[in-house]
Amino acid sequence: MVGRILSEDLASVDDDAAEGEGAAERRRRLRALVTALGTSARSAGLRGVAAGRWLSETFAEEIAPRVPIRDHATLVRHHGGLDGEELADALQRTAVRATTAVGMAGGALSAVQWAAPPLLLGTPARLAAETLLVAAVEVKLIGELHELYDAPVASDGALRRNAGYLGAWVHRRGVDPTKPEETLLLAVGAAAKTALRDRLLRLLGRNLTTMGPYLTGAVAGGIVNRLATGAVASRVRADLRAQSIARREAPEELEP
């Protein structure tokens, strides 16, 4: 349920950015995700939720595999022929607008909760919803940047491919397609699970800024998300550009 709701949100991110999705619609989507997450968290139990295990398992198993990643040709087609750095700029702007909107929508809901304190009982689920939404938007961005820079994660299916992009998001770096063993280490194993949990918990802590009274949380949440998403995008793009230059300058292997 959680994965389906969030994947539908992600599929419409580009349309929303182009057409200007209304704030009321963003809050409606966030409420739907909060409700689904509340049910899931109750099933997981207090210990699993408090340790961050539920958050990381929900993201890795239900959400990340469903993140829609467009290939290079599709990205160019969807952006009217844009390519290269101009297209990378457009992808980054779209993702930044999306995570900014999530922060502002969460802050607006928090403002309502301050006016009606009993509703603060829903705050943990709301923070989890914001965290998972922002993480999913950033994973989508990182995946599509890899596709754009002709550095797609080599895999035998979307599940393994998205796991590679999830690893890139966790470590805030570009994945080198010429080193598949590195991609595997980033994406699977106990260390990868621990790194994912820690990354999500840090993001959850960042989203505490949306809990300010009245509309201060909306402003703060929007600003924090905008800066953080822009920073991770710039870092990954720098990695991918460097890898692209290295591949072009590498001497071609002579055929025997």
Q: Kindly tell me if the per-residue pLDDT of 167 is higher than 60.
A: yes
pTM over 0.85: no
How would you class 155 by CB atoms within 10 Å of its CB: exposed for 0-12, middle for 13-18, buried for 19 or more? middle
Q: What percent of the chain has pLDDT over 90?
A: 25
Are 6 and 66 spatial neighbours (Cβ–Cβ below 8 Å)? yes
How would you class 32 by CB atoms within 10 Å of its CB: exposed for 0-12, middle for 13-18, buried for 19 or more? middle
CA pair distance 1, 6, nearest whole angstrom? 9
Q: What is the dihedral of CA 187, 192, 193, 195, to 10 degrees?
A: -120
pLDDT tier at 192, thresholds 50, 70, 90: confident
Of 38-47, 114-123, 191-200, 202-211, the range with the lowest mean pLDDT is 114-123
The tokens describing 141, both together, are 């961005």
Are 146 and 155 spatial neighbours (Cβ–Cβ below 8 Å)? no
CA pair distance 190, 196, nearest whole angstrom? 10
Q: Kindly tell me if the per-residue pLDDT of 12 is higher than 80.
A: no
Per-residue confidence (pLDDT) for residue 184, from 0 to 100:
58
Q: Kindly tell me if the per-residue pLDDT of 153 is higher than 80.
A: yes
Looking at mean pLDDT, say which of 25-29, 68-72, 116-120 comes out highest: 68-72
CA atoms within 13 A on the CB side of 155: 18
> How confident is the model over 118-128, as pLDDT tens digits?
443 355 667 77
